Every structure is written in C-alpha cells, then in structure tokens.
C-alpha cells in the first residue's frame, strides 16, 4: 500500500503537536491499589494537620476541592471524601512508563511534569500514521500498560494543543485543525490563554474583553495600553493562534529546592534557622545528584495567615554546598526583619542553575572545597546506608519543628 503523498504528508505535519495530560494522575495511581474507591470523592494528601491536597478526583472537585487546598478545608467541603496517603515512588514509576511510551513514538518529547508532556510527531507520520492515530495509539498503550487514562490535544502548536487536552478531559481526545484554530479559541475565556493570570484577566474583563476572540479582534495599540507592549503583543499572537515555540526535548532545570510545612507555627528565629539547615542539605544533595550549581539562592516564607513572601540573592559564583546555601538563606531571613506572625511554611531554592562542568571559583582560604568534599562524603554514606544516616550535629536533636521536606523541581 502506497504511503501518503507529499502534499498530504505536509498537510498532516501542519497539525502534529500533541499535548498529553494524564487524568488526575496521583489519584489514578492510588486507585490502582484501592479500586473499591472508584467513583467516590477521593483526595490524595498527607495525614498531618497542616497537610494540603496533592490531587483530587473529579467527584471531589465537584465539591470545590482542588490541589494545594488545606486538607481541613477540603474535608469541610467534602466530608464524604476518602483521603489516601501519597506514594511518590509509585508516581515516579508510572511516570517513567508513560514517558517511555511517548519516546517509543518520537524523540521529540518535552516533559513538563511527571504526568504531562508535549510531543512533536511530525517525523513519525510515515511510520505510525496520522497524528490522530498516533494519539489514539498512545492513549491505548497507556491504558494497557498502566491502567491509567490520558487526555490528548492535537493541534498545530503547543498553546492550542494544551488548551485542547484540558477541553476534552477526562479520558478524551480532541483535534483542532489549523483552519478551525481561531474559531476554537474565540469562544474561550481569556484566562485559558497560557500565562494569563488573575490580575491580567481582571484588567481585560474590566476593559470589556472577556474572551479570546475579543483579544484577537482588539487593535494592538489598545492591548499595549492595557497590559504593556510585550504582554499585549504576546496575547494578541496567542489569541490569533500563533505560537512558534518548538517542542524542546530537553528542558532546562531553572530551579530546585525543598520546603517544609510546620505542624505548629514557628516564631523563634533559632528554630527557623535549624530547619533552614536541613532544607539546605536536602537541596544541596539534589544539586550534586543532578550535576548542578546554584548561582542564586531563594527563600520562601509563609505566615500563619497564608501571606507568602520570597527573597533571593545572586551569588558571586555558583555553589553546590549546603554550607553556602544555608549561609545565604540565613542572611535572607535576617534581612526580612521583624516578622508580623509565626511561620507556617519555610522553603529554600537553588536558582540560576549551571552544569557542574562550569569552572568553580574557590574561596581564598579553601573552605569551600572542604565543605564540598565533606558533603560529597556524606552523599556516599547516604547512598550506602540510606538517607538520614549521617547528618549535621545541629539536626540530631530529639525534636524538630517540622515534617519531612517536600522537594520542589520546576521551571518557575
């Protein structure tokens, strides 16, 4: 049987960007071991009094439960919900399976998170068929290999594909042909455009521009006056279906870190700095594991009333040791001054990441090399005997005002 003609192949390649998003991934993985709860409101969250919702089933979302909501509030909204403890190892396991399925079709996979990715399948059409058939195949293989479901948007660019996958959830497939792109976008509220947050939405709505179609039809000078030249031009391009960004197989890790939510609010500076030390060691170990150095250190502080502030400082040269991260984090904490309330959450971030192959400018007294060598030795002990086997003396006390750290690795 003859393959597609050159003209038909080119037409298919115009609509070959897929956005695959697993449906309620964390809940779905937990339900594999608890199938008796299918069809019920389910919340995935830790058991502590300060836990927040990691994920919620669609049944729980109907009650207004959503991710990052305090668990106590979620229980109040949905008293009948079943709460399941999260299992990070299982999420990583199933994520590897799903990403492996993607890469069996194309090497142009841009992974956004454990359960979401863009695929450019233009180079796989001759071998695997039209993009819509590839999307069907992916959904089928994911279901057969994991028991989980995925929704897929197929379009000519990343923005439209991502919107399409959200539009057809759960367990759906939506193809937006190039000639239908503007009509598909026009009906949507402006906050569906990638990067449009609450304040921009309010500004546009107040100006009588509630839909994407309104943005597309608005002259650029008016958009510039409302949201600025760069943002206005960007929004106008997206609203008209233009997004030239390619699918990028390797995403640069722009920041990583760890944060801790306290079971009881903490007010004492000494206690906060003790926690910062542990967070700095968690973050530094991950830097070394990924072969990265940090050019900037960030601090995140959330008060009892959920007000959140962040501070950061750019370093003279990139670092990888917990000692350096901790020193900078303490300096940032001291720079905040008197705190109006006790602290609910504390976090450390390593930012402006570079590869470890970049030259390291050592301190004049050589102490930086000494700290790095000591912490690498600690890494080897942990690898052999398990995490937490060897820790700084200040972290060996009987009480720590915190729960285990939650790792952060993203592109914000």
| pLDDT score recorded for residue 306 | 83
List C-alpha distances in Å: 85 to 23, 29, 43, 345. 18, 11, 9, 20
Of 110, 116, 259, 368, the catalytic one is 116
Query: In sequence order, what are the residues at sequence separation of 6 or more whose Cβ sits closer than 8 angstroms to the Cβ of residue 52?
Result: 45, 67, 68, 69, 70, 71, 261
156 classed as catalytic: no
**What residue ranges of the chain have pLDDT lower than 50?**
1, 357-370, 389-390, 398-400, 402-404, 407-412
The domains located in the chain, with CATH, are 14-176 (3.30.70.270), 182-239 (1.10.150.20), 255-410 (3.30.1490.100)
Q: Report the C-alpha gap between 179 and 181 in whole angstroms.
A: 6
- Over residues 46-96, the pLDDT tens digits come to 887 778 899 999 999 999 999 889 999 999 999 999 999 999 889 999 999
| pLDDT score recorded for residue 307 | 86
| pLDDT score recorded for residue 358 | 42
Is 115 a known ligand-binding residue?
yes
- Over residues 131-163, the pLDDT tens digits come to 999 999 999 999 999 999 999 999 999 999 999
| pLDDT score recorded for residue 384 | 52
Q: Report the C-alpha gap between 25 and 232 in whole angstroms.
A: 34
CA nearest to 356, candidates 285, 411, 297, 294: 294
């Amino acid at each position: 049987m003859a393959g597609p003609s050159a003209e038909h192949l080119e037409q298919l390649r115009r609509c070959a960007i897929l956005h695959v998003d697993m449906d309620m991934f964390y809940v779905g993985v937990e339900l594999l071991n608890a199938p008796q709860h299918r069809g019920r409101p389910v919340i995935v969250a830790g058991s502590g009094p300060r836990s927040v919702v990691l994920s919620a089933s669609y049944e729980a979302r109907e009650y207004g439960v959503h991710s990052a909501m305090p668990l106590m509030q979620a229980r109040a909204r949905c008293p009948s919900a079943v709460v399941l403890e999260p299992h990070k190892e299982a999420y990583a396991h199933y994520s590897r399976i799903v990403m492996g399925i993607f890469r069996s079709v194309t090497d142009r996979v841009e992974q956004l998170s454990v359960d979401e990715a863009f695929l450019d399948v233009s180079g796989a059409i001759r071998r695997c068929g039209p993009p819509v058939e590839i999307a069907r195949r992916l959904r089928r293989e994911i279901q057969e290999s994991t028991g989980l479901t995925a929704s897929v948007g197929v379009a000519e660019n990343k923005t439209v594909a991502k919107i399409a996958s959200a539009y057809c959830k759960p367990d759906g497939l939506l193809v937006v042909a190039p000639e239908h792109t503007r009509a598909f976008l026009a009906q949507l509220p402006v906050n569906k455009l990638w990067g449009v947050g609450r304040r921009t939405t309010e500004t546009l709505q107040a100006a009588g521009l509630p839909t994407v179609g309104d943005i597309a039809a608005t002259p650029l000078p008016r958009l510039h006056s409302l949201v600025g030249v760069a943002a206005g031009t960007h929004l106008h391009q997206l609203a008209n279906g233009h997004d030239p960004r390619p699918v990028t197989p390797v995403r640069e890790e722009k920041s990583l870190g760890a944060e801790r939510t306290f079971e009881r609010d903490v007010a004492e500076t000494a206690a906060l700095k003790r926690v910062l030390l542990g967070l700095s060691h968690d973050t530094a170990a991950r830097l070394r594991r990924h072969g990265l150095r940090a050019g900037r250190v960030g601090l995140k502080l959330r008060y009892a009333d959920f007000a959140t502030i962040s501070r950061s400082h750019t370093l003279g040269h990139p670092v990888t040791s917990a000692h350096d991260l901790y020193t900078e984090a303490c300096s940032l904490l001291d720079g905040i001054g008197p705190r109006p309330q006790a602290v609910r959450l504390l976090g450390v971030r390593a930012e402006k990441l570079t590869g470890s192959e970049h030259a390291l400018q050592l301190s004049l007294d050589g102490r930086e090399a000494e700290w790095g060598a000591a912490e690498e030795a600690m890494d080897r002990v942990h690898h052999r005997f398990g995490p937490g086997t060897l820790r700084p003396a200040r972290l060996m006390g009987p009480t720590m005002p915190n729960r285990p750290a939650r790792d952060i690795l993203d592109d914000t």
